Amino acid sequence: MTVIVMGLGRFGGGVGAASYLLARGASVTVTDLAEADSLQDSITTLRQVKSTGTLEFELGTHENVSFEDAALVVVSPAVPRPWENKYLKRARDAGVPVCTEIELFLERVDHRKLIAVTGSAGKSSTCAMIHHLLLESDRRCLLGGNLGGSLLGSSQEVLDDADAIVLELSSFMLHWIKTSASRFQPQVGVLTSLSQNHIDWHQTVEHYVAAKRFLLESVVAGNLVLPSAPDAVDSELKNHLEPVKEWMARSDKSWDEANDRVCLQNSIRLHIPGAHQKENASVALMAVACFTEVLPEARRQTARSLAPMIESFSGLPHRLKPLPGFETIMVVDDSKSTTPEATMKAVEAFGSASSIHLIAGGFDKRSDLGAVDRLGDRLAGLYAIGATSDQLLSGANARSCNTVEEAVRCASQEIREGEILLLSPGCASWDQFENYEQRGRAFETAARAHLMGR
């Protein structure tokens, strides 16, 4: 079988799909618009796959790839506007099936094991918390999708033995699942938040919300967990959530009554900063309770009994993580913050904004950065970087710095004892970095170069 894998992807999906197909004897052509020198790690990984198949690369262009002659095309879900991509159109016009790595994975698993999580912000932390709680409860649990990487190459024995599989699903992934013939009915579905995001990819708010709504429509009845914060769903976007609008309207009247929700959050103790992390934790607790129990009262009891287990959750890299080694100031890496809402929550996590030096900006997803821009007058300093920097300069304490390194250097000249240097960009990293991890590492390198000993 001849297969084309289009896009190695930023979360391991392309590598996972190619590895899986090679191990099954397929002739795989991997094509990506990026040049080989920027993909060396992925190329090396694929060349080491033990297989009876064959592997070829066509990098820097798609022009020389015969999409119409393949038996299957597996495309990265991040490929922009796939409905109008000329290469994918050639494949479809020739009757070639086109899918994504996550769709191949969904064909291999029992959907009764799935806990599917999506949201504009908070989904990675919530997924990690759900995974942590299940492991602490002595259940065999796998973590995949955007957060844990591709699970496609897992053996069938591992998938069958798992008690639960937690998937972080992006709007891109959900769009592909929605428009395909893939079966999709997760046992539990979680929406962490909903605000305008990725409009550069979806083109309209309605298209973006429709992808998120698909998860809400697909989950087993009664097993939908909604945001704990009343403002986690943008009021303007609720109107796009038909036919699940009623679910949203009565979210505080479901099995987790408002008083129960408050009591549950008050019982949570975390070692990571931010009130929003308590919100994520309460959602995670309810998701696990939904997964393990049927009756509302049993779910309430289970959520309360699991709450002490969340205290040992240590957080994720690049998610509001204080960096060690700084004595008189705090340096915090929140590179995973890719929405304005995430940045606002990061600033709120530390109380007074007047002690915070914020580095924000990056790739332009056409999100409204007005709220972050307006922080400029309240912060000790706002250092704007990347393609969106000109949208963040109206405040008296804002300045244009272009790069993360330049922003850290500039902040190092202003920051005082007891203050906080916070990287929380509110934008994707793709204008200057391959991913948010690389951006976070660049921030730490610059901070250690300019601020150690402070």
Q: Which of 265, 280, 312 is the last residue of a domain?
A: 312
Q: What is the pLDDT of residue 37?
A: 86
* Reported confidence tier of residue 233, pLDDT bands at 50, 70, 90: confident
CATH number at residue 234: 3.40.1190.10
Range 137-150 average pLDDT = 91
Q: What is the pLDDT of residue 263?
A: 82
* Reported confidence tier of residue 453, pLDDT bands at 50, 70, 90: confident
pTM confidence score: 0.87
| Structural domain count of the chain | 3
Q: 224 with 339, same domain?
A: no
Q: Reply yes or no on whether the pLDDT at 434 is more than 80.
A: yes
Query: pLDDT higher for 453 or 382?
Result: 382
What are 241-283's pLDDT values in tens digits?
766 666 655 544 444 455 677 788 888 999 888 888 999 999 9
Q: What is the pLDDT of residue 32?
A: 95
Q: 331 with 289, same domain?
A: no
The proportion of the chain whose per-residue pLDDT surpasses 70, expressed as a percent, equals 95
Q: Which of 66, 99, 132 is the last residue of a domain?
A: 99
What are 348-401's pLDDT values in tens digits?
999 889 999 999 999 999 999 999 999 999 999 999 999 999 999 999 999 999
Whether 350 and 333 have beta carbons less than 8 Å apart is answered as: no
Q: 304 with 398, same domain?
A: no
Q: 390 with 257, same domain?
A: no
Q: 446 with 339, same domain?
A: yes
Q: What is the pLDDT of residue 252?
A: 42
Q: Reply yes or no on whether the pLDDT at 12 is more than 70.
A: no
Q: 307 with 335, same domain?
A: no
Query: Count of alpha carbons within 13 Å of 155, Cβ hemisphere only?
Result: 3
CATH number at residue 6: 3.40.50.720
Domain of residue 80, residue span: 2-99
At 254, phi and psi to the nearest 5? Answer: -80, -160
Q: What is the pLDDT of residue 255?
A: 44
Q: 250 with 132, same domain?
A: yes
Q: 263 with 235, same domain?
A: yes
Q: 290 with 241, same domain?
A: yes
Query: pLDDT higher for 92 or 265?
Result: 92
Q: What is the pLDDT of residue 251?
A: 47
Q: Reply yes or no on whether the pLDDT at 94 is more than 80.
A: yes
* Cα–Cα distance for residue pair 198/195, rounded to 1 Å: 10
CATH number at residue 358: 3.90.190.20
Nearest-CA neighbor of 191 among 155, 161, 218? 218
Q: Which of 312, 343, 368 is the last residue of a domain?
A: 312
Q: 147 with 293, same domain?
A: yes
Q: What is the mean pLDDT of the chain?
A: 91
Q: What angle do CA 390, 393, 399 make, to 5 degrees?
A: 105
Nearest-CA neighbor of 159 among 20, 51, 52? 20
Q: 210 with 87, same domain?
A: no
Give the helix, strand, coil percentages of the chain, each rounded to 5. Answer: 45, 15, 40
What are 17-43's pLDDT values in tens digits?
999 999 999 999 999 998 988 888 889
Q: What is the pLDDT of residue 290?
A: 93
**Mutual angle of helices 340-348 and 275-292, in 10-degree steps:** 110
The proportion of the chain whose per-residue pLDDT surpasses 90, expressed as a percent, equals 75
Query: pLDDT higher for 180 or 422?
Result: 422
Q: 142 with 216, same domain?
A: yes
Residue with tokens 């699991």: 306
Q: Reply yes or no on whether the pLDDT at 131 is more than 60.
A: yes
- Compute CA distances 98 → 89, 345, 370, 434, whole Å: 10, 38, 38, 25
